[in-house]
Amino acid sequence: MRLKRLIKTFQFDRSNYSRVTLGPDVRLNINENRLQLKETVYGITEYKTDDDLYAKTWVTNPNTVKQWLGFEAYVTHSYDDLGDPVTSVGFRLGDGSDEYWWDGGAWVINTTDWNTEVEVAANISTFPVASEQLQVIINLKTTDQTVTPYVTAIKVLYSSDVEHEEDYIWRSLLHELRDQVRPIADYAISLASTTDTIDFDDYPLETPYNVVGIDAVFNHTDDPEHQTDLFSSYDSGTKVITLSSAQAVGKIIWIRLFYEPEVAVTTGQEYVEVAKVPALALTEISHINSAETGQDDWVVNKSDGTAVKVPAPRQCDIDIRMQLLTDKAKDQTRLADEMKRFFGSNPKLTSKGMDEEFRLWLLDEYEHTTEPSQSEIHAGQLRFRIVKALFFERPAQDVYAVERFNLTGHMNVVVS
């Protein structure tokens, strides 16, 4: 299996404030972009000296992870007059459900004890990856009330079988569109009997909508302006709508439903899906504005001075042209409105393989022809962009960290 070594960084800055869980007497200092103990001010700044003060990172979920490989914490400590540390930082690892501590032989569920950074780094390679999730729980401690440890970031090295083009388009973008795009369609029926339920099996849909919910139901015969909503509930398993009251035989019932459109890439194996409408078809995918970011990254094992350097990735924008395909003109308009709503919400695309966010920009809003094609398909199109996508194309390198810097000979120090 071809694997890449990548780095997941938990950065404690303003942008991640809402994602960090802060325990008692711990704060995220958004001015200095770091975790620290919370100040208690009685004329002077003091910090609690309790043993169990903690913060938790968010749960990362790169679903291409094959093994966690390395661990490094960026920590600033304070020392006493003899040079001994008076602050410390401990760690546990979590999988999104439980917390684990290395007991010297295995990772065991534990919410009491703490490991050192060296212990975590030496044993993280055996931390289970079955859930593909990782959380870091951080213990901040001081024995001197006047000082606090500071944690600015945590880096985790992992191996991944991510293929970037597949990840951005097939794993992530198609999933996002299928999950978030919910157009509305209208469907009118004439009741065959007096009833307070409507079973779609008894009234087959003319257009094969994948119905995921009901917006409203009206008695169009008695209420042509659609002022009174009769909808009570919908069972997606049985495909049965329950109304708030029974409606008489022969009445025209107007159903407004939510559906999930088909989403396909016409250049891939999913081409056959385009025959199903309504559909969103990605017809052109191109890379533009390619450049190297110029920022290598690394994780250092502080126990032995070994390190892994991940070369700077290639960064580019991915431009995508999308066709909106429907068999009804009204569905085309509604689908276009839904896509404008989707992009108007300033969406972000989460890479499933790396669990990193990238912005989606709408470039060409929407255009369509009013006449259907010879196959009676109404088509519109728009163009959008995945902004600054990253492609890690150069292999990671095993290197050594600088542990000591010796100067020999004469050295001039200039103070200005």
Taken in order of first residue, the domains within the chain and their CATH numbers are 4-160 (2.60.120.260), 164-181+263-398 (3.30.2000), 184-259 (no CATH)
Average pLDDT for 174-181: 96
Average pLDDT, the chain: 92
Give kind and range of the element (H or E) at residue 390: strand 378-391
What is the gyration radius of the CA atoms in the chain, in angstroms? 29
Average pLDDT for 246-253: 98
Average pLDDT for 332-355: 95
Band the pLDDT of 337: cuts 50, 70, 90: very high
Provide the pLDDT for residue 207: 93
What DSSP string describes 355-381? TEEEEEEEEEEEEE-SS--TTS-EEEE
- Tell the residue number behind the tokens 């008489």, with chain if given: 248
Average pLDDT for 53-65: 97
Q: Rounded to whole angstroms, how far apart are CA atoms 206 and 187?
A: 9
- Say if strands 279-292 and 262-265 run parallel, antiparallel, or are unpaired: parallel
Band the pLDDT of 25: cuts 50, 70, 90: very high
Residue 228, CB-side half-sphere exposure with 13 Å CA sphere = 12
Average pLDDT for 66-74: 97
Give every CB contact of residue 253 below 8 A, 6+ residues apart in sequence: 188, 189, 190, 191, 198, 217, 218, 219, 220, 230, 247
- Does 140 have pLDDT greater than 90? yes
Average pLDDT for 13-35: 96
Provide the pLDDT for residue 412: 62
Average pLDDT for 380-399: 96
Band the pLDDT of 179: cuts 50, 70, 90: very high
Closest CA to 91 of 67, 68, 77, 111: 111
- Does 273 have pLDDT greater than 60? no
Provide the pLDDT for residue 269: 44
* For the chain, percent of residues with pLDDT exceeding 70: 93
Band the pLDDT of 410: cuts 50, 70, 90: low
- Does 272 have pLDDT greater than 70? no
Provide the pLDDT for residue 79: 96
